[in-house]
Amino acid sequence: MKKSILVIDDSPFAAQQIREVVEGKGYTIVACAKDGEGGIEKYRELHPEFVILDIIMPGIDGLETAQILLKEDPAAKILMLSSLCDASTMEEVRNIGLKYLIPKPLDADVLLATLELLDR
Amino acid sequence: MDKIEINRLDIESIVNAVFVDITMQMVSIKMLRQEKFNSLSSTDYCFEIRTEGAFISLILFEIEEKVYERIATKLDENVKLTIQEKKLYVIEYLNVICGRILSEINDRLGKRSKLSVPIRIEHKVIEQFTWSRTDMSYACLDGGLNIVVYFESKDNTKEDFNI
């Protein structure tokens, strides 16, 4: 059975790239949301196994979105994806309780390997 | 508060390295840095990105139409994109470039800055701006692209991300 992923990213290009990487590798994209608020609604509705979440978005950013999701579901499996991938951003990601931030542009192998790590 | 001085040449070096590398990675376009800054004959596509935090800046991209079209097409060669999709795809490309630039700067400063989502604007001519400025012109087979960075820096322990 395919594992479900919710993508929260305002870029249709990024969402399409993720789709091309993960589908056919044991995952299925159950929904894409363009902002944090929409992503939170979709999470509540669909309870996906994974969330791939961009940091830079209009409205609330990915870090704030992740904090809200984790507050509602501490077991949520969230992978941050961003072009902002410096040490201080990584520290911010860790401070909210997440382990993984992968950089854009997206590397397919890195994404798949990180999803596997997240699933352990 | 003390200002952290950011060297203009450092900014130029970072922007150049990231822009050329990421452009090749994402769209396989070789961008050649021009010796002098060239005002473009047409600036149909201008985008603005702002950063806040330890590194405060306004980054402008001026893109000639054929270059814009080439970037959009190369991002997804399998589909014919609508006008709106092209804009969103190019915005993502610029977002990745600026995010990576800012990541380099953040690491060098040892402090955090944030950036806004790129927005398309009418061509902007900024005069009497007190900030430092660095500008770079690039050429590829399809035409020209300019990057202008207005920046200042401050040691800001209180986060003020009012983008």
Tens-digit pLDDT profile for residues B41-100: 766 799 999 999 989 999 999 999 999 999 999 998 888 899 999 999 999 999 999 999
Q: What is the pLDDT of residues A50-78, one digit of tens each?
A: 999 999 998 999 999 999 999 999 999 99
Are A87 and B85 within 8 A, CB to CB?
no
The CATH classification number of B8-153 equals: 3.40.1550.10
At B127 the pLDDT is 59
Mutation test of the interface with chain B: which of A88, A95, A96, choosing the one with the most B Cβ atoms within 10 A?
A: A88
At A93 the pLDDT is 95
Residue B125: is its pLDDT beyond 70?
A: no
* Of the candidate ranges A103-112, B4-13, B74-83, the one whose mean pLDDT is the lowest: B4-13
Using pLDDT thresholds of 50, 70 and 90, give the confidence band for residue B38: confident
The domain made up of A3-118 has a fold known as Rossmann fold (3.40.50)
Span A13-37, average pLDDT: 95
The rounded percent of chain A whose pLDDT value lies above 70 is 100
At B122 the pLDDT is 80
At B5 the pLDDT is 59
Residue A109: is its pLDDT beyond 90?
A: yes
Q: Considering chain B, what is the average pLDDT of its residues? A: 85
Q: Look up residue B86 and give its two tokens.
A: 């092209």
Q: Where are the domains of chain B?
A: 8-153
User: How many beta-carbon pairs under 8 angstroms link A with B?
Assistant: 71
Mutation test of the interface with chain A: which of B21, B75, B103, choosing the one with the most A Cβ atoms within 10 A?
A: B103
Predicted complex ipTM: 0.89
